[in-house]
Amino acid sequence: MAKSSSKKLQGHAEHTQSAARRGLAGVFKRPIKITMMGAGSGFTPRLLNDVLRIPGQCGGTIGLVDIDTSRLQTMKRLVERLIGKLGVKNWKVIVSTKRREVLPGSDYVVNCIEVSGLECVRHDNDIPLKYGVNQCIGDTIGPGGLFKALRTVPVWLEVLKDAERWCPEALILNYTNPMSMMCLAAGRTSSMSVVGLCHSVQGTSELLARRAEISVGDMEWTCAGINHLAWFVKLRHLGKDLYPFLKKKAREDLAGRPSNPEDAGDLVRKDMMLQFGAFITESSGHLSEYLPYYRTHNDVREKYCRPGYEGGESFYADGWPTWRKDADALRMAMLRGKEPIEWERSWEYASWIIEAREKDSPFRIHGNVMNSTGGGGELITNLPADGCVEVACMIDRNGINPTRYGALPAQMAGLCVSNMSVFDLGATAAIERSKEAAIHALMLDPLTAAVCSPAEIKAMTLELFKAEKAFLPDYR
């Protein structure tokens, strides 16, 4: 998810607040150490609030690492204030701009790093737009997603190398996009136990329950695929298939006759459900970038895309500077007591993974992991074995235990493969610092290939390399 996550996380917690207050059975047997990489991130306050609210925890150390010293010190004050506000004991907060001073002894490393800050967001958006590639978010796939990977993955792999030396038994929880390329590069180069965490499965399951007019706790579902392109293949209530009802409502919305005007948008996902047979996890604006259908010319964008997060042109590039300033202002208001500094425990996965592992109390998440099981099989059998997939995973004291899904319906698998080919070459480009692999990755990108010739794609890619040269050292 690209926009500020706080409102989304609040919604994700609604149906589970009573369970969240109870937590899982058992108590922690030891203090723990959690290191937040990119601690100035908007994720940090809410994720640590979740951890501090785990019943039965017995404290430990919170390590904050960020190269932005101003944000680092602000976050230290904020976390210490949160600890005091919640009245939890036995927690110590340490900070450093140097990760090697903090990583030793970490049990959990939460990765939220951002490489290049605001410096490249306009290049990622405006140079492709000049070539006709119209992006809404542009941070996980397409030209924007690829170049974010090219900047971020090399730094990420250095973090993992340090973790291998200083905390080899730690679980690495990745929140940084582009999720699939980050986890793929990690799976191909690192011995660390890594899982990529998103909240699109939780959010979409609740959304579908609301649209079906049932409680999410009463909905029976299975979901599998890749990050931001995972499919709710099974969706039932009391043994009844929910899709006929949801498809009827979708047809009304697409025809301009919505039964619920407040839920008349999200048209890309609704159309994909009608055409491909199941609902997808990522919201319409972002999803439109993963596909060759909805952003190729003005007429189709006007039909299916809406302003802002639902598909607006340059939404992320235009909004991010303001969101960053607003986040900094909100933190200062919290420190001055002008804004609340505690929240209900959210449905973000990080604290539940920590609780399940420390209490050895099995808990299910949906995580991004390598598709190969290491035993000669694949979690999703009709997707590439050396790719990254998003599947149900069980968490216990053994850590992350992915579950085998089997085969996706062929048309759904085919769309996933089209994206995985981009991620494959994108990860290769970042690992090997290869401009050629980056060019080939964008030649396979569904949206880019729908509007550009191969020669145009090569020219665009080289122009992006030139514009972002300061953040792309050693690319050949």
Dihedrals phi, psi of 261, to nearest 5 degrees: -60, -25
Q: Which one of the listed residues 199, 228, 366, 440 is annotated catalytic?
A: 199
**Count of CB atoms situated within 10 Å of the CB of 274:** 14
Distance CA 6, CA 331 (A): 13
Coil vs helix vs strand at 4: coil
Which amino acid makes up residue 63? G
Dihedrals phi, psi of 363, to nearest 5 degrees: -150, 140
Distance CA 154, CA 268 (A): 34
Instruction: Name the pairing type of β-strands 388-396 and 399-402.
Output: antiparallel
CB 66 within 8 A of CB 97: yes
Active-site residue, 199 included: yes
Coil vs helix vs strand at 342: coil
Distance CA 337, CA 60 (A): 26
What sign results for the dihedral spanned by CA atoms 137, 204, 14, 109?
negative
Distance CA 61, CA 76 (A): 12
Distance CA 364, CA 358 (A): 15
CB 176 within 8 A of CB 149: no
Contacts of 311 (CB under 8 A, 6+ apart): 136, 268, 284, 285, 288, 294, 295, 301, 304, 305
In 66-216, the DSSP E strands lie at 91-96, 108-111, 171-174, 193-196
- The token duo for 330 is 């909100």
Dihedrals phi, psi of 10, to nearest 5 degrees: -60, -40
Dihedrals phi, psi of 34, to nearest 5 degrees: -115, 125
Q: Any idea which residues carry the catalytic annotation?
A: 199
